[in-house]
Amino acid sequence: MTPALRPLLAGNWKMNGTASALATLDAIAEGITRLPDVFDTLLCTPATLVHRAASAAKASRIQIGGQDCHTGQAGAHTGDVSADMLADCGAHFVIVGHSERRADHAETDGLVCRKAQAAIASGLTAIICIGETGGEKAEGKTLAVVERQLLKSVPDSATAQNVVIAYEPVWAIGTGLTPTVEDVASVHRFIRDHLAARFGAEGAGMRLLYGGSVKGANAHELMAIDHVDGALVGGASLKADDFLAIARAFPALAKA
């Protein structure tokens, strides 16, 4: 954890949740009030829930985000959701370039970059996801993949306020597997150095999240790593108890 940066605990509900999931949001919001206000908490809900979730979270410490946006703000794109629409519903963040979208919808680095630009233009903070596949890791290509994704997916307009980077090794997502502490440390240091070289102080101030099988049991160890400024949590964000178990690791780390 980089002490100077306010940590961000982000949940990604993926394609899970109907109206009844708002009870989970309420329980998380209630649990977060019991923890010191030294970190940010975000839930990225399905687009169908963003408006209700943002209303429900209004008086709480929870912020709401989307999981994807179009590169444009309006037009003939059946089924798509724009960053303007998410902002209008009360979102403050949007995930772009998640590996599931890169795989399921053949999203390229260039497309992810344009989505991030659209998010920024709408006043949202773009959480840009990067990370290598298991095959790429086995071939020793992790840093090369991460560097390419950073170069091509992060727009020149990125600042410490409008962009967050999430390093999510694809092979660690939903598998219960995590990289070693040394591997996370080395990739996050690489990302920090790259961003600082390209963006100066803005790059030094961008929050870097780790994602991939983060649980209550490993949160403390993972979040204690240098240049890990928070987490992007999938499965464990769907149950309030599981998410709050991760949240409880944050106050100590924020003060470290």
Ligand X SMILES: O=C[C@H](O)COP(=O)(O)O
Residues annotated catalytic, as ranges:
98, 168
Contacts to ligand X from residues 200-219, by CB under 6 A: 211-214
* Cβ closest to ligand X, residue 155 vs residue 212: 212
Locus of tokens 């996370």: 184
x-or-dash string of contact with ligand X, 10-29, rule CB under 6 A: --x-----------------
Q: How far is the CB of 76 from ligand X (least distance, A)?
A: 30
Binder among 130, 173, 223, 253 for ligand X (CB under 6 A): 173
Contact 190, 146 (CB under 8 A): yes
Q: How far is the CB of 95 from ligand X (least distance, A)?
A: 7
Using alpha carbons, list the distances in angstroms from residue 254 to 33, 36, 89, 107, 225.
16, 10, 30, 34, 12
Using alpha carbons, list the distances in angstroms from residue 6 to 215, 221, 230.
20, 18, 9
Contacts to ligand X from residues 34-63, by CB under 6 A: none
* Cβ closest to ligand X, residue 107 vs residue 168: 168
Q: How far is the CB of 4 from ligand X (least distance, A)?
A: 25
Q: How far is the CB of 173 from ligand X (least distance, A)?
A: 4
SS3 content of the chain, % helix, strand, coil (to 5): 45, 15, 40
User: Nearest-CB residue to ligand X?
Assistant: 234
Beta strands in the chain (DSSP E): 8-12, 40-44, 62-66, 93-96, 125-130, 163-167, 207-211, 230-233
Beta strands in 114-184 (DSSP E): 125-130, 163-167
Please, how many CA atoms are within 13 Å of residue 24, restricted to the half-sphere of its CB? 22
x-or-dash string of contact with ligand X, 237-256, rule CB under 6 A: --------------------
66 forms part of the interface with ligand X (CB under 6 A): no
Binder among 62, 233, 240, 246 for ligand X (CB under 6 A): 233
Contacts to ligand X from residues 69-128, by CB under 6 A: 98
CA angle, corner 171, sides to 166 and 177, nearest 5?
95
* Cβ closest to ligand X, residue 29 vs residue 236: 236
* Footprint of ligand X (CB under 6 A): 12, 98, 168, 173-174, 211-214, 232-236
